[in-house]
Amino acid sequence: MELKDKTILITGGASGIGLEAAKQFLENGAKVIITGRSQKKLDAAKKLYPSITAINSDVVSAENAASLFKEIQKLGGIDILYNNAGVISKPKNLGLASEGHFETAEYEMSINYFGVIRMNNLFMDMLKSRNESAIINTASILSYVPLNLTPTYSASKAAVRFYTDSLRNHLEILKSNVKVFELSPPLVATAMADGMSAKTITTEKLVNGLISGLKNNNYKIRIGDTKAIYLLNRFLPKIAWGLINGKSNAKQLQN
């Protein structure tokens, strides 16, 4: 896929993976629009990369999303929708039978999964109208093997992965020009990884892999340890489970 002169919308684009993606897409000649809930972070991102367009919006809100769509229509539309926005609840709030579990689970699903569907539905016709366009949905290494400490986050990413497969096949049957990519990162060194006892990769390395996958039309982009866990889970699932759910994580569940 050609990235030069494409216009990309990155949700959750004001920090972490999204901000690094904005940087690298700019370096590849793309026009970048970022969105997020924190105006302070959006302002900081705009100061760092003046050529980006930053719009305050929340994928959980249907009203926000509709307003975002109208603003982007006025800007001339997009060629690539990168569904990067995501949240994860802290382990102390994740006991499956604990008080507040439903609220945290609902919050994670509303952003990580339903937000993806909302954005794709809104922008689908716009993307279909382009000669070459794409949707990037963010799954996770935990969409293959769940982490006990993050049950609903893992479930939300598994939902994204299955939905992405179905969406891709549906659009292929319709002979659409919209390409559908699944990005499945391992643990990445961002604020979301705080408190996780596992090795991480940098946002730069992750986005390098994403850019390479897009250019080569690799629709399932598994980065770093995700590749190994994917294969292990197919042939040696108990080993894959043990690698994701190590002794340190078990201790956290007991505390």
CB 84 within 8 A of CB 22: no
| Residue 188 DSSP SS3 | strand
Question: Would residue 157 show up in a list of annotated catalytic residues for this protein?
Answer: yes
Active-site position among 41, 153, 163, 179: 153
d(CA 130, CA 8): 13
CB 230 within 8 A of CB 144: yes
Tracing tokens 């002794």 back to the chain, one arrives at 247
| Residue 49 DSSP SS3 | coil
Active-site position among 157, 219, 220, 227: 157
Question: Would residue 74 show up in a list of annotated catalytic residues for this protein?
Answer: no
Q: Strand 7-11's sheet: what is its strand order?
A: 53-56, 31-36, 7-11, 80-83, 133-138, 178-184, 220-222
Catalytic site positions:
153, 157
